[in-house]
Every structure is written in C-alpha cells, then in structure tokens.
Amino acid sequence: MSYTETQIQSVVSAQRIFFNSGATLDINWRIQQLKKLKAAVLAHESEFEDALHEDLGRSKVEAYLCDIGPVIVEINETMAGLKKWARPELHFSGLLCFPSIFTRVYKMPYGVSLIISPFNFPILLTLGVLAASIAGGNTAVIKASAKSKACTAVLKKIISEVFEPEYVTLIDGGHDVADICLGQRFDKIFYTGSPAVGKHVLAEAAKNLTPVALELGGETGNWCVVRKDADLKDAARKIAFFKLCNAGQICININQIAVAEEVVEDFLKELKAEFTRQIGENPLANPDYPKLITEAAYDKCANEAEQYRERIVFGGNGHRESRRYAPTIIYPVAIDEPIVQHELFCPLLPIVPYKDSDIENVMNVIAQREHPLAMYLFTKNRRWARRTMRTQQFGGGCINEVCIHLMVKGVPFNGTGHSGMGAYHGEWGFREFTHPQTVLMGKTCCNLSLREHPYSGNSEKQKLNFLRWFER
C-alpha cells in the first residue's frame, strides 16, 4: 500500500485524539497491552522465522537468538518492572521551600510517538522499541523498513490484529513515506539506522522541536583490539561467531580488528580455523549462513573486497543471486586506510597489525574518530582493559567477549554522537519514552515572607542571612 500525506495525517490525528482521552495513562492497561504483544509474538513465531529466512537467510536458531527471543525477554522485563518504574517519586523540597516540603516527580508519556525501524533486526528493533513506547504510555506510529519486506508484512498483519490503529499503526513504504511521517508533528521520535539518515531525522524533528532518540551504527565502525597476551583461540572463536551472525549486518558488530603483530599470524590461523569450523569449507552452500539484504548491499560488499583483492587471506568470494558473500579476512590493513574509516555492515573483516608496545597510540587514533557504538578488548591485562573502557567514548562493549552486553537486564543500550543519543532496554526504555514532570505540593499557611519584597532596608541583611543559611 502506498500512503499519502493525507492518510498519514489522519493516522497521527486519530492517535492524538486517543492519547488525549487519557486511556494510556493507566499502568494496568499498559501491562495488558504488553501481554497482548507478547502473546502475538509467541503465536506468530513460525511466521517470523519464515520471514527472517526470506529476507535475511536466517536459520531458525539465529532468528530466535537474535530477534524473537530478545523481544520476549524485553517484554517480560518491562511487564515485571513497569509498576515500580512508573511510580511517582517523592522528594523533600528543602528548607528554602518551607512550608511546601514535598515534591513529586511524575513519569509522563510524551504522547504520539514515531518509531522508524531498520531491516537488520526487523522484529527486535521494531517490537522491542514498541514495548518501551507502550510502557511509557504513548501511542505509536511504526515506519518499518521497506528492505525487509517479508518481516514488514508479518509485522503489519500482527499489529493490525492486536491493536486498534488509533493506538498502534504500522506503515510500510520507502524513504518517501518516511519523509511524510517526519513531516508530521510527533511528540517523540525513535530512529534506528545510519548516521547519515540520523542527521536527516534530527533536522526534520527540529522543525517541531520533537525530542529524538537515535540508535546509530557509528560513522567509523566498531573496533576490536586483540593484545599479545590474549587467549587467541577464545578470541577467534567469539569473533568468528559474531562476524557470521546476520552476515555482519549488525550495528554493534566488529568492523575491524587491531591485532598485536607479535601474535597476528597465530591469530589469523585460529580465526580461519574458527570460520571453517563454524560455517564449513563452503559457507555459500551452507543454508544456515545469512545473506545480505539487497543486491545493492551485496554489490557494495563485493566491490570493496575487490579493492583489497591482493590482501584477502580468507574468503573473498560470493554468489550474487543468493546475496551471500563469504566471511572475508583482509590483511594487512593500515589504521588510516579507507576501509577502516567507515562502517562496513557486511562480512568483510580488515585486520590492522600494530606493535603491542604502541597500544596507547592505537587507542588514541580510535578516540580521535567518531564514537563507535561498541568496543571489544581481548587481553589478560584486566587493569589496562578496565582503564581503557573507562576512558574511551563508545556506546557499550565487552572485555574478552562480544555482543552479549546487549542482553544484560537493567542496563542501558545505545551510543553517543555518531553512534546515537538517548538509551533504552528495560527501565531505560521506559525513561526514554517518558518525561519526568516535577510538581511541588504547596501549602496555604505558614508561608514565609523571605522571598517577597522588600529586598532592601531593614529586611536586606536579615533575608540574606537566612538565604545563606538555607543554601549551605
């Protein structure tokens, strides 16, 4: 279906009327909507699996591991914590406000939200964000990706079955439809995608001063650092798993690896062995190996690989008809080459050798680039690793592990700068979709004249002494 501006305006208007009715303010009502959403995910699990396979070539295990299962976990955590998160906070107002000594902070929904979701995790990054919007008491217009057509079709069917359109509506279509959506006055926008489009979303949102959360991949990609004291076999096993997942089309995936040259040959041997062990000698013939989302994405990957053809030490072949490109190791690559200065979002894996004694210079170069969404360090030197993680700027990461910081309950997820703004997951998602509203509980008796005129004459010294005493 092709949406017109009039149709989208009508959807937004209907949702605003519904929100203004106050129906979404009741916490028990929100929990009921989350229960309906969870039940729909469970009931349509096989349809999601089929759609993920059609769009991205995902196996059932990977579909559940990366999209379906995390949505259920997210909804469960939200339902369990929502009453506590939404409870108004009671604060002591301070002596300066006497006799009005109590202040409450209410967690108020923004109103009508717009969720723009991507193709790479079309279930998780649509329904996971929707769960946060519902928890916050908002209505939602979802603009799903036109690239993951099968998943968008299933999502649209399920959303229309579960929710009334004045509460939640899913809109499909391309960039033109997204621009029509961005032209409307929303109360909150949540966008997941590239930094380039993120800038456009911010610019459009600024016209209505709409608050925005962005989950972006990072302009210059996520770094993994393997030091000479790392457990190379363990590092290779985890890195290979992660790079194979979704064929590298993951916002927190490893974009490039800096490997200490003292161990780089041994590491490459282990990494090649792990790729082969996990996906086989011919990954293009393995039905469990995912595919790139479009032919254009395949061509971009293949063309970049050709530019480094003489340095490909593993992989380097693909099949355009199936859109599968083998995991490909490119070595050696200098830290200032073009391939390590932009997000790849594909199975290419450049290896940057460095002297382990120069590790601080490597980290300084990384720090000078745009902030990544993730960082991964492999080393036995925990003190160095913890210090590095405390001083670098990035969204989140792991020491001697990959990606699973994303799965930890109760912690925020997102980046900073070119890798995003805002945060979500669990309570952090609830916070992202609510505005803290401060209300002081005033008294009508025993009010002090301290704040009132006159400020000079006999009152000046007395009032200043009281103010300075109160504010110590």
CA distance 436 to 459: 37
CA 221 to chain centre: 14
Average pLDDT for runs of 10 along the chain of length 472: 90 98 98 98 98 98 96 98 98 85 96 98 98 98 98 98 98 96 98 96 98 94 97 98 98 98 98 98 97 98 98 98 98 98 97 98 97 98 98 97 94 96 97 97 84 84 80 70
pLDDT at 446: 83
Catalytic-labelled residue, pool 151, 251, 301, 346: 251
Q: What type of residue is 83? A: K
CA distance 323 to 341: 24
Annotated catalytic residue 215: yes
Catalytic-labelled residue, pool 62, 74, 77, 215: 215
pLDDT at 462: 84
| Beta pairing class for 139-143 and 89-92 | unpaired
pLDDT tens for 215-244 read 998 889 999 999 999 999 999 999 999 999
pLDDT at 1: 63
pLDDT tens for 111-124 read 999 999 999 999 99
pLDDT tens for 191-220 read 999 999 999 999 999 999 999 999 998 889
Domains of the chain from N-terminus onward? 5-217+419-435 (3.40.605.10), 222-407 (3.40.309.10)
CA dist list (Å): 303 to 169, 222, 326, 337, 346? 39, 21, 13, 16, 12
CA distance 106 to 103: 10
| Beta pairing class for 102-109 and 434-441 | antiparallel
